[in-house]
């Protein structure tokens, strides 16, 4: 029984990661090319919170109670979009520092190789 629950939860998670728009967008933001769009994605939180506010208004006016699930979903997605902005900036800073370190190591290695070739090619002094 426990194994069945784990398998079902894995399949649900895979489905949500693959087909839900906010998860697709989050995966794109986590790539190196997409990190720069994180702050702009934060603006998508506004429509999600507006939709949650609108749904709460509908529920207060007598709409079906199952709309509470949609309220939870829109609030969750709104917070997910808010979180992606600062997180993507941190990821971008970390990636740029890592890239700068790699460039620095590459320049040092090139300078060492050039120095070795100059020493090997220099004529011997007597």
Tens of pLDDT, residue by residue over 18-32, are 898 899 999 999 999
pLDDT at site 125: 58
Number of domains in the chain: 1
Question: Structural domain of residue 63, as residue ranges?
Answer: 2-121
Does the predicted TM-score (pTM) go above 0.85? no
Which band of pLDDT confidence, cut at 50, 70 and 90, is reported for residue 123? low
Asked if residue 36 belongs to a domain, the reply is yes
pLDDT at site 118: 82
Asked if residue 71 belongs to a domain, the reply is yes
- Residues 54-111 have pLDDT tens digits of 999 999 999 999 999 999 999 999 999 999 999 999 999 999 999 999 999 999 999 8
Asked if residue 102 belongs to a domain, the reply is yes
Which residues, 6+ apart, have CB-to-CB distance to 18 below 8 Å?
Answer: 24
Asked if residue 107 belongs to a domain, the reply is yes
CA atoms of 61 and 67, how far apart (whole Å): 12
**Confidence check: pLDDT of 43 > 70:** yes
pLDDT at site 98: 96
Asked if residue 10 belongs to a domain, the reply is yes
Asked if residue 126 belongs to a domain, the reply is no
pLDDT at site 62: 92
Asked if residue 49 belongs to a domain, the reply is yes
């Amino acid at each position: 029984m426990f194994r069945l629950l784990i398998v079902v939860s894995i399949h649900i998670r895979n489905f949500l990661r693959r087909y839900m728009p906010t998860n697709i967008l989050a995966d794109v933001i986590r790539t190196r090319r997409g990190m720069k769009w994180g702050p702009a994605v934060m603006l998508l939180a506004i429509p999600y919170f507006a939709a949650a506010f609108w749904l709460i208004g509908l529920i207060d006016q007598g709409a079906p109670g199952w709309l509470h699930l949609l309220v939870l979903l829109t609030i969750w997605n709104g917070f997910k979009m808010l979180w992606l902005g600062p997180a993507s900036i941190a990821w971008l800073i970390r990636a740029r520092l890592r890239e700068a370190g790699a460039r620095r190591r590459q320049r040092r290695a090139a300078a060492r190789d050039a120095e070795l070739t100059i020493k090997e090619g220099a004529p011997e002094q007597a």
